[in-house]
């Protein structure tokens, strides 16, 4: 932990002193990225935050307000339930989202986004139709086999 700034020094000279002492101890040698230019951020003002989240392996969902998370979860619901194995699990997932929607509607906070409870039966019907086995395409009829034409006397002999 760093030491406190002495009262008789101003901030600039105290910081300069700490940098000079760290340089003398060699704490700035062999740092990653040494000798390389500092990466420029894009025009996005939050480029550093996005880079930090990417480096830490964290999604930005934790930064979203609850109303936007609800909207996103409702939009992704068909894909979410597609992976579930039972109708009961689908109904529980929809029930949980609907509970969150009702809680948010009772006391909204964050940006106002239009959200409404999801129709459970509609989601279950979509889930069933996605799980229903596809009918196999009818097998094509075999192509007629071309036999070599027999000669005229073989046909004549077959008639008799």
Which alpha helices (H) appear in the chain, and where do they start and end? 11-25, 47-56, 66-82, 87-106, 120-131, 152-159
Check: CB of residue 106 under 8 Å from CB of residue 79.
Answer: no
Query: Does 93 score more than 90 pLDDT?
Result: yes
Predicted confidence band at 97 (pLDDT cuts at 50, 70, 90)? very high
Cα separation of 147 and 158, whole Å? 16
Least confident stretch, 47-51, 54-58, 137-141: 137-141
**pLDDT for 124-159, tens place per residue?**
998 888 887 766 667 777 766 666 666 766 767 777
% of the chain beyond a pLDDT of 90: 20
Closest Cα to residue 109, out of 148, 158, 68, 74?
68
Question: In this predicted model, which residue has the larger pLDDT, 33 or 22?
Answer: 22
Tokens describing residue 4? 């406190």
Closest Cα to residue 44, out of 28, 22, 60?
60
For the chain, domain boundaries: 63-131
Q: How far is CA 54 from CA 9, 49, 142, in A?
A: 40, 9, 57
* Three-state SS at 143: coil
Predicted confidence band at 73 (pLDDT cuts at 50, 70, 90)? very high
For residue 115, what pLDDT is reported? Answer: 87
* pTM over 0.75, yes/no: no
Query: Does 1 score more than 60 pLDDT?
Result: no
Q: How far is CA 137 from CA 70, 129, 140, in A?
A: 40, 18, 9
């Amino acid at each position: 932990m760093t030491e406190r700034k002495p009262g008789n020094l101003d901030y600039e000279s105290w910081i300069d002193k700490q940098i000079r002492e760290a340089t003398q101890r060699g704490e700035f040698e062999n740092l990653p990225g040494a000798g390389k230019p500092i990466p420029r951020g894009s025009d996005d003002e939050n480029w550093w935050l996005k880079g930090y989240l990417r480096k830490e392996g964290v999604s930005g969902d934790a930064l979203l307000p609850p109303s936007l998370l609800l909207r996103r979860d409702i939009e992704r619901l068909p894909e979410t339930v597609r992976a579930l194995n039972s109708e009961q699990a689908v109904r529980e997932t929809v029930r949980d989202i609907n509970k969150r929607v009702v809680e948010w509607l009772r006391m909204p906070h964050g940006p106002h986004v239009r959200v409404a409870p999801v129709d459970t039966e509609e989601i279950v019907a979509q889930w069933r139709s996605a799980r229903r086995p596809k009918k196999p395409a009818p097998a094509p009829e075999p192509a007629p086999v071309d036999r070599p034409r027999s000669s005229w006397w073989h046909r004549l002999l077959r008639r008799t």
